[in-house]
Chains A and B, each alone.
Chain A
Amino acid sequence: MATSGSILGNPVRRVEDPRILAGEAKYFDDLEPTGCAHVVFVRSTMAHAKITGVDIGEAASMPGVLAVHTKDTLALEPVAGMMAPPAFSRPPLADGVVRFVGDIIAVVVAETRAQAVDAAEMVVVDYDPLPVVVDAEAALKDGAPLLFPDHGSNVAVDFVTMGATADPTILDGAEVVVSGRFVNQRLAPVPMEPNGILVEPGDTVTITVPTQGPHGVRDPLAPVLGLEPDKVRVIAPAVGGGFGAKTGAYVEHIVAAVLAQQLGRPVKWTETRSENMVSMVHGRGQIQDVDLALTKDGMFQAVRCKVTQDAGAYSQIGAFLPFLTRTMAHGVYEFPKVELTAISAVTNTTPTGAYRGAGRPEAAAFLERIIDMAADEIGMDPIEIRKKNFIPPDKFPYSTTTFANYDVGEYAKSLDEAVRVAGYDQLRADQKARRESGDVKQLGIGVAAYVEITSGGMFQEFGSVEVKPDGSAVATVGTSAHGQGHETTFTMIVSDLLGIPMDKITLVQSDTAVVPRGSGTMGSRSLQIGGSAIYRASEGVLEKAKVLAAHLLEANVDDIVLHDGGKVGVAGVPASALTWGELAEAAEDASRRPDDWEGKLAAELDFNQGEATFPFGAHIAVVEVDMETGRVELIRHVAVDDCGKVLNPLIVQGQQHGGIAQGVAQAMYEGVVYDEDGNPLTANLMDYAMPSAAEFPSFEASNTETPTPLNPLGAKGIGESGTIGSTPAVQNAVVDALSHLGVRHLDMPFTSERVWRAIRDATPA
């Protein structure tokens, strides 16, 4: 592949765009089948309380209301969390106790959404408040309020007893030890399209849902409905972003599906934004106690991190994510010893889950922060201390002590490039000059080098390619795009291998009725796994085409080649070569194909990469801090991300840009906040500071290309890299701007008030 004349590597415009730009793309809420009823949930307004009474009488008598249910009339099995104690399972409708603001108490179904909203407001709930715990560390203290008293503690997952042994001697023999306590704050994913579901009952139940993987919604829903999976068809239509939060079946999906089945008519739930901010999983939420041991000349000896993870009220994927933080706790460095222990605790807050990066940004954040503190401590430049400790290129594949097997890495290559693009030495000179002149706007330069894991744990994906007698091709893939442009990238792959024009290739995805198996788009896996499945299936089709052409042309199969212009025939004899349409037609004609021919001109398989890939990169952020007001402005952001071979630079750059924006947003603006009673203070887009175009500079994003040997495309994931590299770069830049005052650490986000206080506290009175 990628020979001269290859389409791969070119910035091909997306084939998805015209229908989106014209407003014709259909998202789930754009569908309104005849007779569709609407679901609205009655959610808890208290963070922790006994429910002493629910009066649904008036609501049930409201116009258009079809049903009002609490757990007394709609019995649903509690949903178990990932690796969590069974006691932490979540009843879809609260069973006597609510554990976070947003927990579901009752559900209303009505003819119209407005009627359902009206009725939901008439449901009267009596609460008996219970003590509230919103902080994961507080939740682990003796005497803390227990969310599940039967269990006896708030511990969801204890990674100490799961093989992550704590070594009390790990810092022994250190020349220098630096220690820090970092808060990696809770974030809201905020896909622009909130959650929801449309369920149409019938012999086969059809479910249209904004999800990153339709099979992952079908499999938990089918048993709840008492149906075999093949009687539940799940479709992901146009999906308005997910960022990790639109995976699996939400309890709301379960309730809506059961109601549709009971009522025998279509039922739709459309989440509002204020509902989304409390009911969709949140991300991050770690407190990290970190120690780094090093020699006086900057060689790392050991790193230790104790993570306290906030699982939220019902333990889900979030409780498990410190596992990925541990996997990546080695970073890009040759640590003789690495130790990450973690405890996940339930709190009276929204459950946490996967959000762009999911456990890996937290690893890069604590490593890059503590390394900067160490550099400050021993008086070494942050670039130098990093390069001194990088795993050298000749040591790959490299197995870490935290059970990661890095495929390829040239960490100095991306950092050197970032230094060059940023003009690092000049920036340092500018910083020095501003410090000396006492400029009101001080310059901060932040560096971060990272490695991350993509397609971790999910190595396999389905792919098929079929050529039709009209010369067109259909590719089917198990992943499911929700904005990533798979129709473009995957048809590029088929076109490149078969010479069929892109506009004659259709990608089929996101529908369990036509895609037999699939895991979906998460963990930056789709191109490397799904794309490779399409690549291998295309190869399979080409092999079959050669056999068929050899038979038809009475030639030796070894002499058959794919000619320019997409015809298959004898090498050097393009005139007799056959078109794809001719071949597909012959394949369906028993009189023209070989006797041992099987099936159509098609191939299908499951590509299994066997292990994960480890993209890497380096980011340099430049900030100006106003020393009088504490206002921080990000003035430059340089990113050099290495995702291996780049197939479509337009799409790769788009992933970089979006990732950087979300990572910068964590450093600068965003954070989910609860008061001590567990009331969410950031439950709409006025209060939650999701940035607009005005909050970012132009990003200077580029790539180095170190192909992975693990798949035929040489591709590693790019979906989350930007988020992982940018946050610590910006955080380091802000601390760097104040380091001459003696500031060694500041937690995110960098509100003017927080920075102003740090300046005030550091400045001698």
Chain B
Amino acid sequence: MAELPVTMSVNGERHRHIVEPRKTLADYLREDCALTGTHLGCEHGVCGACTVMLDGVAVRSCLMFAVQAEGAEVTTVEGLAKNGELTPVQEAFREEHGLQCGFCTPGFVVSVHAFLEDNPRPSRDEIVEALSGNLCRCTGYQGIIRAVERAATTMGGAT
């Protein structure tokens, strides 16, 4: 299969690889960039575990090809914490027990970062709506919803 070069910025670092055009962004991040924090839970865009930010927008990296991200700025879960300091969103997930097995967690955390950037003071209904694109089998979502509420409060308090 003919291969194509692709260049993108991932977590602030420039990555350039030659890939098959059919390679998904998720596989590219995991295999070519060795960033395995992005997980694959369904490979058909339902579970949201593979969510990353593409130019600031949350996308499912299993539903797009790596070559479509040419020139983009990609942020994965590994790119959120700075200097080993968890973000307020990550801290809130820990504080509110918003994770158990943790497999879905990177997708939730990235989705919530994107969501709170768009809507810093969400209502509970808006939070639930925003989370409904990610699936979790362990928590019953209770701790996750509380974590978003807490993160919104913390981040709102800081601005």
Contact = CB atoms under 8 A, between A and B. Distances in A.
Given A273-B44, A684-B42, A685-B42, A692 B142 contact: no
B132 A694 contact: yes
A239 interface: yes
B41 A192 contact: yes
A23 B38 contact: yes
Contacts, number: 170
B59 interface: no
B74 interface: no
Interface string B41-81: 11110110100000000000000000000000000111011
Contacts of A722: 140
A304 interface: no
Contacts of A482: 101
A22 B43 contact: no
B102 A16 contact: yes
A59 B86 CA distance: 48
A571 interface: no
B131 to A, nearest CB: 4
Contacts of B121: none
A650 B100 CA distance: 11
A660 B95 CA distance: 21
A22 B102 contact: no
A192 B104 contact: yes
B157 to A, nearest CB: 20
Contact of A23 (B20, B40, B44, B77): B77
Nearest to A239: B101
B140 to A, nearest CB: 3
Interface stretch (A167-175, A253-261, A651-659): A651-659
A21 B84 CA distance: 11
Of the four ranges (under 10, 10 to 19, 20 to 34, 35 or more), the interface on chain B belongs to 35 or more
B79 to A, nearest CB: 9
Contacts of A662: 137, 140
A20 B105 contact: yes
B141 A692 contact: yes
A26 B143 CA distance: 23
Q: Which of B30, B101, B135 has the most CB of A within 10 A?
A: B101
B86 A21 contact: yes
Contact of A240 (B36, B42, B101): B101
B138 A654 contact: yes
Given A21-B93, A654-B139, A694-B128, A272 B43 contact: yes
Nearest to A663: B140
Contacts of A243: 137
A272 B23 CA distance: 16
A22 B81 CA distance: 7
A699 interface: yes
A22 B106 CA distance: 8
A193 B78 contact: no
Given A18-B90, A21-B77, A661-B139, 4 more contacts: A30-B36, A190-B137, A662-B140, A685-B42
Interchain residue pairs A-B with the least CB separation, the first 8: A23-B37, A240-B103, A483-B101, A661-B140, A20-B102, A23-B77, A30-B36, A657-B140
